[in-house]
Amino acid sequence: MKKTFVNDEKIMEVVRTYPTPFHLYDEAGIRRTARDLLKAFSWNPGFKEYFAVKATPEPAILKILKEEGCGCDCASLTEMMLADRCGFSGSEIMFSSSDTPAEEYLYAYEHDAVINLDDISHIAFLKKILPAFPKKMSCRYNPGGVFTLGESGEGFQVMDTPEDSKFGMTRKQIFEAFRQLKALGVEDFGIHAFLASNTLSDEYYPALAKIIFQLAADLQKETGCHVTFVNLSGGVGIPYRPEDRKNDIFAIGEGVHRVYDEILTNTGMNDVAVYTELGRYMLGSNGCLVTKVLHLKHTYRDYAGVDANSAHLMRPAIYGAYHHITVVGKEHLPHDHVYDITGSLCENNDKLAVQRALPELEEGDLLVIHDTGAHGASMGFNYNGKLRGAGILLCSDGSTKLIRRAETPEDYFRTMIF
């Protein structure tokens, strides 16, 4: 039986204080996840996790991660401003963006963030807008083709198509980019790559590391550029479905360690720092969405209309993503009713679950939608005049605290000109 970090009693207690719907985050779980990650990579003295801010742009959570020694991975001006306001500075901020506007590069430069270039053409762009080149820079690599791992009877464990991805440079371009950057005064070089999302295999990071470490060795040898860090980026997944396996972060860290020794230590490059930019792995299972059943409707299907909608959790609507749902106080009952769990948007894909077997529902039932801590609230939008919801932190001492208030109609009208 799949569980979240809160039991039913706690949910009932929180609901007495805060109206549904809200995202609830688990401070203890976030700290534990961060500590385990750091421990798993403690063999690498320069290791740093740059939390992918887009996953959960919450000041209270960013501050917790900062206390645990993490930096921030930002992809926009406002994400960098948020990181700045949460106390991150200089090389604690990785700026991994694409199609980047000039003012965002300038902001990154002025705040000494580490710039990760998505394309070789951006070198000429930066020449026009920056007073000088930073000493430390990174380039994003895209090996093209199809990336697969772990063929089994049922297909591949991991499969993604870098070739279709808009991100990163080709091998030829990254060699040329390093040469150009070196001529412009860059001294510390990094390589970044993101090949597959939400992977459920302890072999993803090691396989990715093998590709980037080898590239790092080739680049350093052929261009004379000093590679000082490799960024394995995001992509380590979480078990959204009850039958999914949970990644073993210690096995992942050891797997990367093995490849590091094989390729880098053997070539005398044992000063290379390993960075990660995990979002989902850090926060996904450390958050859930609590919502209440408003209406039950029986037509050609059975529908349970809840007070949350896709503005609180868009992943099911846009990716067909699965989020497990438990019903407070009813988990012991037979799951013999099948529902579409809907929100109130005028879009038929505004469903948080489709054809889901659950216990029989009644008006007022509380549903806990699992694993919404990353790429959940952050994807919220205002379509149909929907307002984004609140965020509550379940603190390590068991107390709760509001970390984001729900939007009000005033927020919705703020940018309108009448």
Ligand X SMILES: *Cc1c(COP(=O)(O)O)cnc(C)c1O
Of residues 375 and 386, the one with the C-beta less far from ligand X: 375
In this structure, the strands spanning 226-231 and 188-192 are: parallel
Contact 372, 288 (CB under 8 A): yes
Which of 14, 40, 52, 308 touches ligand X (CB under 6 A)? 52
Query: Which of the residues 160 through 199 are near ligand X (CB under 6 A)?
Result: 194, 197-198
Q: Minimum CB separation from ligand X for residue 365, in Å?
A: 31
Q: Which one of the spans 20-28, 218-226, 232-240, 304-312 is the region binding ligand X (CB under 6 A)?
A: 232-240
* Cβ distance to ligand X smaller for residue 314 or 374: 374
Q: Does 234 bind ligand X (CB under 6 A)?
A: yes
Taking CA 108 as the corner, what is the angle to CA 107 and CA 112, rounded to the nearest 5 degrees? 120
Please tell me whether residue 398 adopts helix, strand or coil conformation: coil
Binding mask 370-389 for ligand X (x = CB under 6 A): ----x---------------
73 is written with which tokens? 């991975």
CB of 356 to ligand X, least distance (A): 24
In the list 31, 32, 54, 66, the residue contacting ligand X (rule: CB under 6 A) is 54
Count of residues near ligand X by CB under 6 A: 18
Q: How far is the CB of 199 from ligand X (least distance, A)?
A: 9
- Does residue 26 interact with ligand X by CB under 6 A? no
| Residue 409 C-beta: closest distance to ligand X, Å | 31
Query: How far, in Å, CA of 24 to CA of 105, rounded?
Result: 34
If one counts every other C-beta atom within 10 angstroms of the C-beta of residue 172, the result is 9
Nearer CB in complex with ligand X: 96/142: 96
Query: Phi and psi (nearest 5°) for 272?
Result: -75, 125
Q: Are 315 and 280 in contact (CB under 8 A)?
A: no
- In the bound state, the residue with its beta carbon closest to ligand X is 234
**From CA 3, how far away is CA 34, in angstroms rounded?**
20
Q: What is the DSSP letter of 262?
A: I
Kindly identify the residues of this chain, within the stretch 276-295, that bind ligand X according to CB under 6 A.
277-281
* Contact present, 64 and 381 (Cβ < 8 Å): no
Report helix, strand or coil for 37: helix
In three-state secondary structure terms, 26 is strand
Pick 122 or 386: Cβ nearer ligand X: 122
Binding region for ligand X (CB under 6 A): 52, 54-55, 73, 75, 96, 194, 197-198, 233-235, 277-281, 374
